[in-house]
């Protein structure tokens, strides 16, 4: 089948290559000419394990190409929309400019029977708005919503072997239901190889499909903030949040995943999605229903302040003190620094007068774009040289696997103090190697300075 994918970022580029690997003839379209050039040349414009190999393989197969020209979508039967929906402003609402522009640019290229498929994360009601617009500007074309649940760092696997496929289609009247059934059948063809493996397929109305996505992210964010709230209790009482998470996680109704206490969530999805969800609920007159997401956000931002407070305590005042921050990406196996908790910590440390050196295996260049003043080290050891405190802010395997005894790191630092802001280090091994280890929520640091509501995004 001929497919177009509009927007070739972290989601769209992987989706385009993934669809080509299923045997479809795919064109990826993006307004960013530099990104398109990189993709055409077989270079991933971002770090994502396995993506570059897939990209090259599919370019070589002849089934995948890229363009900046919206006309390249003409002739495709299914058009995935995967453009960005960032936070618009302080209200938290989503900025739908790119989604509307993408659909407007597609409209004149659509033929009757073509299907536009939303993959971007949008506020509930967006699909209906776009469909109403299409009825006017591209009658005969249809629209479905097929939200995406991939995680960065696992994007290729999540695209090709998703937990489930959610298909939001038209319905209501008999005529609309018939169109919706046809649209779902077309998506079944697109995903035939994936469905053949028994992947659950859930067909629903457009609004429910939009809500499934934002509800899933709201739940994940809530789970993380819940365990981080428990972390605050653990620190106040001397308890250990990792033991607590293990114990409650054994209950299958709770589950251990996403109970990783630490510096909290960041990235291009969870923070902006919970804010947009709240803003949309306000618009709909049901703001109270999602009021708790404000608390989820506040708990999350408090983690960032807390880590900086701990560094201040450990150094006895941050002005002129050397701090190493290991990890700048919002999570390991990604170079994405959008709303990265690690970068927020760097910014706040710097604002409080510390001399910060940062290091990340992949995200250094992106970090410099956000914080041009960042003193970026080439290795973890470089960053740690003469540091009075080392902060592990992203749990890259490179840091997790550091041997505190054999690595020689202790000899490099001015003071062997480490804040394990992701609870990823072997505390006993580090302590045995002579380090003072402060692990978040693990009872070792009861006196905590509280300051304000949290550090905003860098
Ligand atoms: N990143 C993820 O892991 C992920 C997972 C699931 C859902 N999502 C959602 O998918 C959407 C995209 O996220 P992303 O992380 O890929 O963002 P991104 O910023 O990496 O990519 C968006 C791309 O869209 C392009 N673009 C913008 N306007 C365009 C237009 N009018 N026509 C063509 N291209 C245009 C941009 O140049 C950019 O390359 C968002 O709604 C996000 O919430 C992302
Ligand atoms: O136990 C945990 C798990 C995650 N995190 C943090 O939470 C953030 C988000 O992590 P993750 O969800 O793995 O990354 P994303 O790639 O942003 O994926 C989320 O956002 C995507 C975009 O909407 C969705 O598609 C995914 O299903 C959803 O997991 C990161 O900062 C993690 O460090 C924790 O602090 N503790």
**pLDDT tens readout for residues 244-267:** 999 999 999 999 999 999 999 999
pLDDT of 285 reads 98
Is the pLDDT at 452 greater than 60? The verdict is no
Q: Decide if 8 is catalytic.
A: no
**pLDDT tens readout for residues 18-76:** 999 999 999 999 999 999 999 999 999 999 999 999 999 999 999 999 999 999 999 99
Q: How would you label 34-44 residue by residue, b for 16+ Cβ within 10 Å and e otherwise?
A: ebbebbeeeeb
**pLDDT tens readout for residues 207-250:** 999 999 999 999 999 999 999 999 999 999 999 999 999 999 99
Residue 393, helix vs strand vs coil: coil
Superfamily of structural domain 2-204: NAD(P)-binding Rossmann-like Domain (3.40.50.720)
Query: Matching CATH topology for 2-204 and 206-457?
Result: yes
CA dihedral 85, 89, 92, 93 (to 10 degrees): -50
Mean pLDDT of the chain: 96
Fold of 206-457: Rossmann fold (3.40.50)
pLDDT of 215 reads 98
Ranges of beta strands (E only) in 240-388 are 322-326, 355-359, 375-376
Alpha helices in 172-269 (DSSP H): 174-190, 192-195, 206-237, 241-249
CA-based nearest residue to 13, from 99, 104, 82: 82
Q: What is the mean pLDDT of residues 7-16?
A: 98
The region that residue 168 occupies, defined by phi over 0 for left and psi between -120 and 50 for alpha, beta otherwise, is beta
Ligand 1 nearest-atom number relative to CA 105? 31
Residue 288 DSSP code: G
pLDDT of 455 reads 41
The pair phi, psi for residue 324, each rounded to 5°, is -105, 130
Is the CB–ligand 1 distance for residue 35 below 6 Å?
yes
Distance CA 10, CA 139 (A): 31
- Tell how far the Cα of 402 is from the centroid of ligand 2, in angstroms: 24
Residue 294 annotated as binding site: no
Residue 223 annotated as binding site: no
CA-based nearest residue to 231, from 290, 299, 280, 277: 299
Residue 126, helix vs strand vs coil: helix
- Tell how far the Cα of 434 is from the centroid of ligand 1, in angstroms: 45
- Tell how far the Cα of 10 is from the centroid of ligand 1, in angstroms: 7
Distance CA 323, CA 345 (A): 11
- Output the CA angle 270-237-345, nearest 5 degrees: 40
- Ligand 2 pocket at CB < 6 A: 121, 148-152, 217, 220, 224, 258-260, 262, 264-267, 269-270, 273, 330-331
pLDDT of 441 reads 96
Distance CA 340, CA 325 (A): 13
- Cα distances (Å, whole numbers) of residue 141 to 146, 163, 190: 16, 29, 17
The region that residue 454 occupies, defined by phi over 0 for left and psi between -120 and 50 for alpha, beta otherwise, is left
Q: Please report where in the chains the tokens 């998703």 appear, as a residue.
A: 162
Is the pLDDT at 445 greater than 80? The verdict is no
Counting ligands in written order, the one closest to the CA of 329 is: 2
**pLDDT tens readout for residues 172-185:** 999 999 999 999 99
Residue 338 annotated as binding site: yes
**pLDDT tens readout for residues 360-393:** 999 999 999 999 999 999 999 999 999 999 999 9
Residues 14/48, Cβ–Cβ less than 8 Å: yes
**Other Cβ atoms within 10 Å of 185 Cβ, number:** 11
Domain ranges (residues) in the chain: 2-204, 206-457
pLDDT band at 444 (very low <50, low <70, confident <90, very high): low
Which residue's CA is the nearest one to ligand 2's atom 5? Answer: 265
């Amino acid at each position: 089948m001929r497919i177009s994918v509009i927007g070739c970022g972290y989601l769209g580029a992987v989706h385009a290559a993934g669809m080509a690997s299923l045997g479809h003839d795919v064109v990826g379209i993006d307004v960013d000419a530099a990104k398109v050039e990189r993709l055409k040349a077989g270079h991933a414009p971002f770090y994502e394990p396995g993506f570059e190999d897939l990209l090259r393989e599919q370019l070589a197969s002849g089934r995948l190409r890229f363009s900046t020209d919206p006309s390249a979508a003409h002739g495709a039967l299914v058009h995935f929309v995967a453009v960005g929906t960032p936070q618009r402003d302080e209200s938290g609402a989503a900025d739908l400019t790119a989604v509307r522009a993408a659909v407007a640019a597609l409209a004149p290229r659509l033929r009757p029977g073509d299907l536009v498929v939303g993959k971007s994360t949008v506020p509930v009601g967006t699909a209906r708005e776009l469909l109403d617009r299409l009825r006017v500007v591209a009658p005969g074309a249809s629209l479905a919503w097929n939200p995406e649940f991939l995680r960065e760092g696992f994007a290729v696997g999540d695209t090709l072997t998703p937990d489930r496929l959610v298909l939001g289609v038209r319905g209501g009247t008999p005529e609309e239901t018939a169109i919706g059934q046809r649209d779902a059948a077309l998506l079944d063809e697109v995903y035939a190889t994936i469905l053949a493996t028994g992947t659950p397929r859930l067909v629903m109305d457009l609004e429910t499909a939009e809500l499934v996505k934002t509800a899933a992210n709201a739940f994940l964010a809530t789970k993380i903030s819940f365990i981080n709230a428990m972390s605050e209790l653990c620190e106040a009482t001397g308890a250990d949040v990792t033991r607590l998470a293990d114990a409650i996680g054994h209950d299958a109704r709770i589950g251990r995943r996403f109970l990783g206490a630490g510096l909290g969530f960041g990235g291009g999805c969870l923070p902006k999605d919970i804010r947009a969800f709240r803003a949309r609920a306000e618009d709909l007159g049901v703001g109270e229903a999602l009021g708790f997401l404000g608390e989820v956000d506040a708990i999350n931002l408090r983690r960032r302040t807390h880590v900086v407070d701990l560094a201040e305590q450990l150094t006895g005042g941050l002005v002129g003190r050397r701090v190493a921050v290991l990890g700048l990406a919002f999570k390991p196996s990604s170079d994405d620094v959008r709303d990265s908790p690690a970068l927020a910590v760097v910014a706040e440390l710097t604002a409080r007068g510390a001399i910060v050196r940062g290091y990340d295996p992949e995200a250094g260049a992106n970090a410099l774009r956000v914080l041009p003043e960042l003193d970026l080290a080439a290795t973890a050891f470089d960053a740690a040289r003469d540091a009075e405190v080392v902060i592990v802010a992203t749990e890259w395997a490179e840091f997790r696997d550091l041997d505190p005894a054999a690595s020689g790191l202790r000899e490099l630092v001015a003071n062997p103090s480490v804040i394990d802001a992701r609870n990823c280090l072997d505390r006993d091994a580090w302590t045995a190697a002579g380090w003072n280890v402060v692990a978040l929520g693990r009872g070792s640091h009861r006196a905590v300075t509280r300051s304000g509501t949290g550090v905003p995004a860098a």
